Structures are given as structure tokens and as C-alpha cells.
């Protein structure tokens, strides 16, 4: 009598499951990063409204002996820091996704000074916007990480 061999079924494909999990994790982290980005922008808007309750326009610093007035690094654009808040998505060389929330750029180089200044520069004190945004957004971001979008 021939012996019956049980057929083996491939119930799951680990590579496929890993790619699905990675894609879902990337979606969740992207959604959480967008929540943090929106909260940072809201914090910056409220600081700008509270401290600059007057119309602020682009203006150049007065000319000096080097006359650099009108050059991009001398222009004071009130909305440049607000417009520099962004979510950056990259993939590392091994294919892993990397999602960052960044504030500041070449034109808005004062992002860290705006957050952390201790008042050493002409009585200027820091106006935290990043750390309160993280504290406010953390419960929403944790919920998205754990339960999905």
C-alpha cells in the first residue's frame, strides 16, 4: 500500500508580508509626520500673530559699506520660516524609508535660534514652537502608529 505524503502548503510568503508591513509602516509614519508638520505651522502662526500684530513685508537691511541690500540673505521675509516647515521622505541605500520633519533652510537659517535662544542677543528670547508641537501631537501620532490611519 503506498504511503500518502501530506502536501505542504505555503500559507505565507515572508518577503511579501515584510514588504506589505513596510509599506503600511511608511504610510503610518507619513501620516504622523504630517500631523507634526501641521502642529509646528500652527505654533509658528500663533507666535507670529502674537508678536507681530502688524503687517510685515519683505524688506532689505539698509546698505552698508559692502552694499548688499536686496541680496537674498539680507531680505527679511516674515513668512520664510513658516514656509520652510516640510516633511522630507528619503530611502536609504539599503531601501529603508526615512521620513523627517524639517524646519529651516538656506533662506530661513534662524530656525534653531528662534526655538532655543537664551536671550543673549539683544534681549531676544527663544520662542519654542518645535517642542510644544511634539508634546501636543504625540498622542495623535502614537494612535496613528499603533492603530493606523
Name the pLDDT band for 35 (thresholds 50, 70, 90).
very high
User: Tens of pLDDT along 85-95?
Assistant: 999 988 888 87
User: Measuring CA to CA, how many Å separate 56 from each of 2, 84, 95, 149?
Assistant: 90, 17, 44, 38
56 pLDDT exceeds 50? no
Residue with cell 515572508: 14
Q: Is 148 helix (H, G, I), strand (E, B) or coil?
A: coil
Residues in Cβ contact with 58 at an 8 Å cutoff, skipping those fewer than 6 apart: 75, 76, 77, 78
Dist CA 100 CA 87 (whole Å): 6
Amino acid at each position: 500500500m503506498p504511503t500518502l505524503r501530506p502536501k505542504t502548503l505555503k500559507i505565507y510568503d515572508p518577503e511579501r508580508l515584510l514588504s506589505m508591513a513596510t509599506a503600511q509602516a511608511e504610510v503610518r509614519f507619513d501620516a504622523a509626520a504630517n500631523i507634526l508638520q501641521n502642529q509646528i505651522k500652527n505654533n509658528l502662526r500663533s507666535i507670529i500673530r502674537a508678536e507681530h500684530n502688524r503687517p510685515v513685508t519683505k524688506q532689505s537691511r539698509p546698505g552698508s559699506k559692502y552694499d548688499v541690500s536686496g541680496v537674498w540673505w539680507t531680505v527679511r521675509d516674515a513668512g520664510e520660516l513658516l514656509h520652510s516647515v516640510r516633511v522630507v521622505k528619503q530611502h536609504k541605500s539599503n531601501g529603508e524609508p526615512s521620513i523627517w520633519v524639517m524646519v529651516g533652510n538656506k533662506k530661513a537659517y534662524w530656525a534653531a535660534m528662534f526655538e532655543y535662544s537664551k536671550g543673549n542677543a539683544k534681549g531676544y528670547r527663544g520662542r519654542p514652537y518645535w517642542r510644544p508641537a511634539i508634546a501636543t501631537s504625540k498622542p495623535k501620532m502614537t494612535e496613528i502608529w499603533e492603530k493606523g490611519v
